């Protein structure tokens, strides 16, 4: 049963991305192009999507964490680390650069696979290769970036 609930939630998330236009890299790039503000070419709609996501997440966490345990699990798995290390800085920086260059981030990229053609496919393949490479580098002895604890 839980896999069906997870599928339905993922489907709803993907549908929300499509309706909001977030599977279109041009829309995302128009938001990130702050130089277009004086000419009127800047698209602030992504800020509203992000704000809505933050509000829903904030309320959702407040409601869910009042429960003793998750509905479809034995215990909540919340992060315990509070220190800021190189991985905490490098990961979001790489994510932001990739998002700014391609106009895709992971959720919308997977959604765009259905309509985005070759650019979405190239992005998803590159993203998966990057994720695999990062995991491989982090698992090597004598790695440059220590694993999070």
Average pLDDT over residues 66-92: 85
Average pLDDT over residues 69-79: 85
For residue 146, the model assigns a pLDDT of 54
Model confidence at 148: pLDDT above 60: no
In angstroms, the CA 137 to CA 92 distance is: 17
For residue 129, the model assigns a pLDDT of 92
**pLDDT of 127-142, one tens digit each?**
899 889 888 888 887 6
Domains of the chain: which residue ranges?
Answer: 2-139
Burial of residue 126 (CB within 10 Å: 0-12, 13-18, 19+) is middle
C-alpha dist (Å) from residue 2 to 32, 70, 73, 148: 37, 11, 9, 29
- Assess contact for 106 and 123: CB atoms under 8 A: no
């Amino acid at each position: 049963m839980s896999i069906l609930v997870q599928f339905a939630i993922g489907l709803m998330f993907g549908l929300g991305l499509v309706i909001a236009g977030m599977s279109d890299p041009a829309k995302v790039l128009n938001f990130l192009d702050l130089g277009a503000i004086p000419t009127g070419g800047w698209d602030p709609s992504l800020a509203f999507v992000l704000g809505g996501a933050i509000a829903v997440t904030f309320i959702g966490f407040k409601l869910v964490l009042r429960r003793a345990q998750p509905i479809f699990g034995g215990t909540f798995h919340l992060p315990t680390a509070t220190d800021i290390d190189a991985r905490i800085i490098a990961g979001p920086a790489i994510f932001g650069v990739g998002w700014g260059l391609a106009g895709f981030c992971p959720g919308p990229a997977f959604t765009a696979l259905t309509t985005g053609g070759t650019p979405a496919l190239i992005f998803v393949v590159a993203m998966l290769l990057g994720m695999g490479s990062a995991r491989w580098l982090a698992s090597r002895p004598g790695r440059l970036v220590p694993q999070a604890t």
